[in-house]
Each structure stands twice: as structure tokens, then as C-alpha cells.
């Protein structure tokens, strides 16, 4: 699951105790802090638990996020910021930046970062489910839904919560809008399966994502850019099939010839992929099932077209490759709308009033900073697909 096919790793985080001794001035306030600690630990465990499913994940996320909202939502009847929002420091790694974390003393940063991981988990769950030996219609719908749900989370974070951060994201970091945009279109592209829709969608979403990738730091996005390039030769392959079904055999041959060229370039990129630093470098893209299968599909379809053109169509093969539709206006998998759960019933104005920031709070910013602090990555199960999942984008 970790590297099938190219799947960015989960974000890792430093432990958080929520020990607000002196500040939490009542048993109910202390219980909220204790429950925050346990529900956070539980949710982090679910990310790497192979038995976890979307229902279990939803229960775990709702339990934590409903409590965390008590540090974000206004509970005193005013429009002022929640007094607890900036109490706790949170540290999270970025999916494309290794194990050196970003840190912010802001509960909204924690909300966004944890939700980001939930979205990544849904893409991994979809990939794992699609790799089963016998995929049912229900499984296929779950794969499609998980990818659209992940896109919905990324979209919601970008539009609603990331703009609320006091400290803007640095270039190449997960919370940068261009990185979020790339994840959104990756999820949309993966959700497309229909060959008739694939050329425009694969080319359009891959081109959009590549546009976002190429504006970011090259050393951070080499894996993403590689995976997105693969979608382009798939687009030419499916376009060739579509042209043949429309009795445009000459254009079909030219499209498939272009697919062969793109496939050869992709094989070269496979070597570069394994030599780049960063997550996923242990993967062997050219040996993955979908890659070898698509290579055979291109070759066999091209041979079929050439045979049929020789004794049925007698069409001239164009010198230039046919233009792919840059953007598909149909068949796109729209992100599923996402909202965070409502505030926990534990977080009442009365309990909120018992948090006293003037008593006993230790300012974490006063602690000396370590040089280049590193957080251990999450230990993800390296599950192998039982069959070709068709996953080519993320």
C-alpha cells in the first residue's frame, strides 16, 4: 500500500499531551484534554491499521475533530478567536519534504494537517481495495467514492480552513494551494475508468496537475511529475481505441504510435524515478502490473489497427499526432462535499469558562529549539496488489 503505485506517505506528527495543568480548571475541562489525547492517538493508529474501513475511520475522525473544535469555535458568544486556539504547539511532516516537520502553535493547523492525512488514507484505501483479486461492483463503487471523498477533503481545506492560518505555508509544503490543487486533480483523474472519457480526462487532469507540479520545487515533486506523465501515454492509447471504434483507422494508428513513443519515454523515466530522493524510491514502476499491461495493450491495438487498415480501411496515416482534448467537460468525478463534525457536547460555554490561561500554562515557544528536528515516519504496511488496479496517477 505504501508505494502502490506511487502513493505519497502519510504525514507524521509529534506526540501531543494536551496537559494543560492549572489552565484546565475543572474536572470537565481535564476530561476534554484527556479525551483529546486518547482520540488523537486512536486516530493515528487507524491510519496504519489494515482492518480499518471508511466507517471506522469516520468514527475515529468524528471523535477527535468534534473535541478539537472546542479549541477553534467561538464558545463565549463573541466573534473573538477561541482563547484556546493558540495554546498547543503541533508538529507535522510534509508528504514531499521528508521527516523535518513544520510546526505551528495553532489548533487550526492541527485540524488541517490531521484532515490531510484522512484524505491521503482514503486514496490508499481505494488503491488497496482496487488491488483485490476479485473486485465486486460494490468494491468498485467504494473505490470511486473514496477518491471523490479525498478530493472533497482537500478542496474543503483549501477553500475554508487554510486561509485562516496565521502563518502561510512555505513553497512545496503540503498546505500550499498549488500542492492541494495537485492532490485534488490526482484524485479526480484516478476516479476515471471509462476509455471513451479517458483521453480528455487523463490529458486534462494530468496537464493541470503537471502545471501545478512544474511551478513547485523540482526536488520535491519529481515523483509526482513522473506519475502524471504516465497518464499522457494512457490518454493517447485510449484515444486510439476511440478513433478505431469511429472507423478513423489512420488517425487511430497515429495516436497509438504516439502512445508507443510516450511509453518508451516513460520507461526511461522509470530509471530516473528510482534514482530520485524522496518517498516511493523503493518502487519499481516499470514492473507494476498496470504498466506492463498497458504496454501490451498499446502494442496489440496498434497491430490490430495496422492489419485492418491493410485490408479494410486503406486510410492514410497522418504525419502529426491527433490533438487530444485538453479538458474534458463531461464524466469528471466531482469531489464529494466534506464538512467537519459538529462541536462535541462536552465543549459547553460553562466548561470553556473554566479554562484559565493566566494560571500555570507553560509557553512552549520558550523552550529552546532543536536543530533540524526529525520526526519518525509512520510505519505503513507494504501491501502488494493482488491484481492490476489501474492506478496510474497518484
Q: Does position 394 have pLDDT exceeding 90, yes or no?
A: no
234 vs 199 pLDDT, higher one: 234
Task: Round to whole Å and give the CA distance between 269 and 201.
Answer: 22
Could you tell me the three cell numbers for 341? Answer: 463534525
Give Cα separations from 282 to 3, 285, 287 (angstroms): 8, 9, 12
The three-state secondary structure class of 355 is strand
DSSP string for residues in 365-388: GGSPPPTT---PPP----PPPSS-
Task: Round to whole Å and give the CA distance between 200 and 207.
Answer: 10
The reported pLDDT for the residue numbered 96 is 79
Task: Round to whole Å and give the CA distance between 252 and 260.
Answer: 12
Q: Render pLDDT for 135-159 as a digit per residue (tens, 0 to 9).
A: 888 998 899 999 999 999 999 999 9
Is 0.85 topped by the overall pTM? Answer: no
Interval 79-90 mean pLDDT? 93
The reported pLDDT for the residue numbered 301 is 94
The three-state secondary structure class of 259 is helix
Q: Going along the chain, which residue ranges are E strands? A: 90-92, 102-104
End-to-end CA distance of the chain: 12
223 vs 171 pLDDT, higher one: 171
Asked if 1 and 327 count as a contact pair (C-beta separation under 8 A), the reply is no
Give Cα separations from 39 to 32, 133, 135, 253, 336 (angstroms): 10, 34, 33, 57, 25
Task: Round to whole Å and give the CA distance between 46 and 23.
Answer: 30
Could you tell me the three cell numbers for 247? Answer: 472507423
Interval 175-188 mean pLDDT? 87
Residues above pLDDT 70, as percent of the chain: 76
Q: What are phi and psi of 165, to 5 degrees?
A: -65, 140
Q: Render pLDDT for 358-374 as a digit per residue (tens, 0 to 9).
A: 886 554 444 444 456 78
Task: Round to whole Å and give the CA distance between 185 and 331.
Answer: 14
Q: Does position 59 have pLDDT exceeding 90, yes or no?
A: yes
The reported pLDDT for the residue numbered 156 is 98
Range from 88-102, 176-190, 267-281 carrying the lowest mean pLDDT? 267-281
Interval 250-267 mean pLDDT? 90
Q: Render pLDDT for 207-222 as a digit per residue (tens, 0 to 9).
A: 555 555 555 454 445 5
Q: Does position 274 have pLDDT exceeding 80, yes or no?
A: no
- Reported as a pLDDT band with limits 50, 70 and 90, residue 196 is very low
The three-state secondary structure class of 244 is helix
Instruction: Label the pairing between strands 102-104 and 90-92.
Output: antiparallel
Per the prediction, the chain carries an average pLDDT of: 82
What is the maximum alpha-carbon separation in the chain?
A: 89
Amino acid at each position: 500500500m505504501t508505494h502502490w503505485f506511487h502513493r505519497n506517505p502519510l504525514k507524521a506528527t509529534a506526540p501531543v499531551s494536551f496537559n494543560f495543568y492549572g489552565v484546565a480548571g475543572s474536572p470537565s475541562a481535564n476530561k476534554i484534554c484527556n479525551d483529546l489525547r486518547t482520540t488523537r492517538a486512536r486516530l493515528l493508529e487507524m491510519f496504519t491499521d489494515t482492518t480499518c474501513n471508511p466507517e471506522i475511520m469516520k468514527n475515529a475522525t468524528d471523535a477527535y475533530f468534534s473535541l478539537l473544535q472546542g479549541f477553534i469555535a467561538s464558545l463565549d458568544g463573541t466573534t473573538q478567536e477561541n482563547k484556546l486556539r493558540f495554546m498547543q504547539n503541533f508538529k507535522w511532516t510534509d508528504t514531499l519534504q521528508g521527516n523535518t516537520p513544520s510546526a505551528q502553535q495553532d489548533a487550526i493547523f492541527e485540524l488541517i494537517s490531521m484532515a490531510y492525512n484522512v484524505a491521503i488514507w482514503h486514496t490508499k484505501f481505494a488503491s488497496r481495495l482496487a488491488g483485490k483479486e476479485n473486485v465486486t461492483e460494490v468494491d468498485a463503487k467504494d473505490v470511486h467514492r473514496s477518491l471523490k471523498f479525498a478530493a472533497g477533503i482537500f478542496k474543503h481545506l483549501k477553500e475554508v480552513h487554510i486561509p485562516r492560518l496565521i502563518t502561510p505555508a512555505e513553497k512545496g509544503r503540503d498546505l500550499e494551494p498549488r500542492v492541494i490543487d495537485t492532490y485534488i486533480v490526482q484524485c479526480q483523474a484516478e476516479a476515471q475508468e471509462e476509455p471513451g472519457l479517458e483521453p480528455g480526462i487523463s490529458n486534462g487532469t494530468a496537464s493541470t496537475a503537471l502545471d501545478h507540479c512544474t511551478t513547485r520545487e523540482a526536488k520535491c515533486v519529481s515523483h509526482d511529475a513522473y506519475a502524471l506523465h504516465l497518464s499522457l501515454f494512457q490518454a493517447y492509447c485510449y484515444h486510439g481505441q476511440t478513433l478505431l471504434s469511429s472507423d478513423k483507422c489512420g488517425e487511430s494508428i497515429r495516436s497509438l504510435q504516439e502512445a508507443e513513443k510516450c511509453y518508451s519515454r516513460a520507461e526511461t523515466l522509470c530509471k530516473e524515478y528510482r534514482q530520485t530522493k524522496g518517498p516511493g524510491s523503493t518502487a519499481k514502476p516499470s514492473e507494476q502490473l498496470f504498466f506492463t499491461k498497458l504496454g501490451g495493450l498499446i502494442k496489440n491495438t496498434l497491430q490490430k489497427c495496422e492489419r485492418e487498415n491493410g485490408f479494410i480501411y486503406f486510410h492514410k496515416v497522418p504525419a502529426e499526432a491527433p490533438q487530444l482534448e485538453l479538458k474534458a467537460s463531461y464524466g469528471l468525478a466531482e469531489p464529494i462535499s466534506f464538512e467537519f463534525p459538529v462541536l462535541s457536547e462536552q465543549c459547553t460555554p460553562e466548561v470553556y469558562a473554566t479554562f484559565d490561561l493566566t494560571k500555570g500554562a507553560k509557553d512552549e515557544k520558550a523552550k529552546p529549539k532543536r536543530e533540524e528536528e526529525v520526526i519518525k515516519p509512520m510505519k505503513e504496511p507494504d501491501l502488494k496488489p493482488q491484481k492490476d488496479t489501474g492506478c496510474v496517477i497518484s
